[in-house]
């Protein structure tokens, strides 16, 4: 087990167990509808810049990262949570930005300096949505 915490932004601590963060980052359960809205929002999550998924109304989806279709069949909630929080914990060469880290970053936009891209509740919302994406889903 590895405990991680960002003191600079006073982010709540989380514990990495293997390839996952098994415990939720917030006490409130994630909302899948809010999570979907974050994923498709090109000003908040920016997920579709690199990922594609079962979002037929969304144009210009990315091809640089895994398709989000079936994400809930491929990864557990804890595995998804770690990938969103800081995928570099799994792959130091990843192009996936850390959405819940504030330290050790370079080329950070002034608006995000010292702040995570997504807060704990938003991460839980995204995780809650991604676990609903099962193999065979074609539209969400």
Q: What pLDDT does 5 receive?
A: 40
Torsion of CA 111, 122, 44, 91, to 10 degrees: 80
Give 56-84 as a DSSP string. TT--S---SS---TTHHHHS-HHHHHHHH
For residue 14, which phi and psi values (nearest 5 degrees)? -140, 160
pLDDT tens-digit map of 60-85: 999 999 999 999 999 999 999 999 99
Q: What is the pLDDT of residues 89-121, one digit of tens each?
A: 999 999 999 999 888 888 888 877 889 999 999
What does the DSSP assignment read for 6-33? Answer: -TTTTPPPEEEBTTB--S-SSSSPP-HH
Query: Whole-prediction pTM value?
Result: 0.87
């Amino acid at each position: 087990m590895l405990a991680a915490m960002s003191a600079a932004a006073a982010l709540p601590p989380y514990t990495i167990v293997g390839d996952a963060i098994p415990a939720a980052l917030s006490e409130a359960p994630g909302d899948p509808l809010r999570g979907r809205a974050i994923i498709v929002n090109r000003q908040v999550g920016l997920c579709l810049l690199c990922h594609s998924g079962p979002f037929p109304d969304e144009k210009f989806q990315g091809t640089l990262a895994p398709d989000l279709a079936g994400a809930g069949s491929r990864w557990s909630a804890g595995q998804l949570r770690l990938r969103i929080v800081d995928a570099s914990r799994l792959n130091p060469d990843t192009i996936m930005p850390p959405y819940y880290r504030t330290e050790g970053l370079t080329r950070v936009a002034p608006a995000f300096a010292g702040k995570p891209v997504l807060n704990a509740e938003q991460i839980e919302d995204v995780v809650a949505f991604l676990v609903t994406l099962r193999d065979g889903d074609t539209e969400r």
